[in-house]
Amino acid sequence: MTLRVLYVCTEVFPLLKTGGLADVSAGLPPALTAMGSDVRLLLPAFPGVVAGVTPEGPPLPLPAGGGPGLPSGVGPQTASAQGPAPWLQAGRITASGVPVWLLHAPGLYEHGGNPYLDEHGQPWPDSAEQFAWLGWAAALLGTGLHAAWVPDVVHGHDWHTGLAFAYLHELSRTAVHRPARVFTVHNLAYQGVFNAELRPRLGLPDGLFHWQGLEFHGQISFMKAALTYSDAITTVSPTYAREITGAEQGCGLEGVLLQRQAQLHGILNGVDDTVWNPQTDPLVQPGFTARNLKGKAQAKARLQQRMGLEPRHEALLFSVVSRLTEQKGLHLLPAAVDELVRRGGQLAVLGSGDAAIEQALRDCALRHPGQVALTVGYDEALAHGIIAGADVILLPSRFEPCGLTQLYGLRYGTLPLVRAVGGLADTVVDCSLENLDDGSASGFVFDELDVNNLKVAMRRAFALQRRPADWRAVQRHAMSLRFSWARAAAEYLRVYASVMPATPLV
Ligand code: ADP
């Protein structure tokens, strides 16, 4: 029997991307499919997503909460009595052929730009409704709304899908079909917490609103709904899975996670080889391999030229491709830049986010013209250019569920300099003497989140640069590491199996 998986998310590369979740949604479903599963994505019909999907078949109307055959008081209400009801449209991602359901809900998803934040960086005012409908669509599909395709597993990603688990909990009291419910935390810091007064509008019965349900300090928490009402929880690295059961990284939900520890699994993300492969990357040509790095030297020269850095091939070129936030530890970086430049290094930064961090980095660029460059914004081609052309990629993160750019850096021989936290601790091995000696070193790792530790790790990078044979050995090892989606998919299949033991997987 083929395992049917409804994969519920809000972004997928290349149609819509704000961060790593989009890369995961592009990489994991095809890997599960390759292992024999039948996976369909469910996404809100944001404009970028609609533009990249070819519809197939007729629309499927989505009953609102309390609709015919549904328990009363469960499920979101339509905002206006006159407006058309939300509906689902089946289709395929045009470029990849991956099957999807798009959730259309008039007035909820048509805004352009960022799916979560308006032009002032504030959450869209109807955020709760937007993602309640997403959860509701998942719950209805999960309990058999479309008889021709009923999933065995509903797999939701991040807080936006959290109410799916609460609705499924309610619907499964009466529904004939009860899918296994798996939830993946990509970032526990974003929780979807809303005013309790929204409960009737979202169709969340009073019986769910208590401290062992989805109530969080008197409010509705979408994240807590998922953590409470899923059968299994995964997160994107083994270390983060441990960290979130403690007060420091638990964001107030450590108690819930500790209680569910037996069903909490850490599964490292993979790298999509069709997008991030230095030999075939169309955004980085000529390509390169660990044995022939000529293309990498050319990528460095192109990057220096593009970002207005002096064309010094011997300069150790540090880089950042990231949201510019405290989560990423980038508030530490400006204080380390003068020393980095004094030691002969350069810095190329691509990102946007926190205004104070942006400004501090802009000041660094003004102070060190030709040695420090900042591009504010989101730019896929430049991201590839940086990860290919730089020598070192920096992730001094405060917390990091998995982190993808260090994995891309490893693949492109751009050694990651990271703080030992979350997925960074699981994927990068420091260039200490003993690690150099046994061939396991792949980057530079520091422990405490402060600027002196960051500077010491930078010094280690300069020291390794002065030992070219060692640098090459570390680079070769880094480029040989593989974080495949096939390995991750096999682990997800094991998690699915653990919550549906009676069902054979293929
Ligand atoms: P997070 O999801 O926390 O932002 P990840 O490391 O998991 O961090 O994933 C970030 C993804 O977004 C990577 O694919 C990275 O290359 C990409 N990215 C981040 N900032 C930018 C940017 N300014 N321009 C292009 N790509 C970016």
Per-residue pLDDT at 424 exceeds 60: yes
CA of 19, closest atom in ligand 1: 2
Q: What is the pLDDT of residue 79?
A: 64
Q: Tell me: the pLDDT tens digits for 120-135? A: 888 999 999 999 999 9
Q: What is the pLDDT of residue 338?
A: 98
Helix (H, G, I), strand (E, B) or coil at 323: strand
Cα separation, 182 vs 496, in Å, equals 7
Domains defined for the chain, CATH in brackets: 11-270+486-498 (3.40.50.2000), 294-482 (3.40.50.2000)
Nearest CA to ligand 1 atom 17: 19
> Whole-number mean pLDDT of the chain?
95
Per-residue pLDDT at 506 exceeds 60: no
Report the 10 Å Cβ neighbour count for 451: 16
CA of 269, closest atom in ligand 1: 7
Q: What is the pLDDT of residue 314?
A: 97
Residue 19 CA to ligand 1 center (angstroms) comes to: 5
Residue 169 CA to ligand 1 center (angstroms) comes to: 34
Furthest CA-CA distance within the chain = 72
% of the chain at pLDDT higher than 90: 91
Residue 129 CA to ligand 1 center (angstroms) comes to: 27
Per-residue pLDDT at 15 exceeds 80: yes
Q: Which amino acid is at 308?
A: G
Q: Tell me: the pLDDT tens digits for 59-109? A: 999 999 888 889 989 999 876 544 678 999 999 999 999 999 999 999 999
Nearest CA to ligand 1 atom 22: 378
Q: What is the pLDDT of residue 483?
A: 97
Nearest CA to ligand 1 atom 14: 20
Residue 396 CA to ligand 1 center (angstroms) comes to: 14
Report the 10 Å Cβ neighbour count for 139: 29
Where residue 501 falls among pLDDT bands split at 50, 70, 90?
Answer: low
Per the DSSP assignment, residues forming a β-bridge with 350 are: 321, 375
Q: What is the DSSP letter of 457?
A: H
In angstroms and rounded to an integer, the radius of gyration of the C-alpha atoms of the chain is 23
Residues within a 6 A CB radius of ligand 1? 19-20, 23, 321-323, 350-351, 378-380, 383, 402-405
From first CA to last CA, the distance across the chain in angstroms is 5
Sign of CA dihedral 288, 293, 294, 298: positive
% of the chain at pLDDT higher than 70: 98
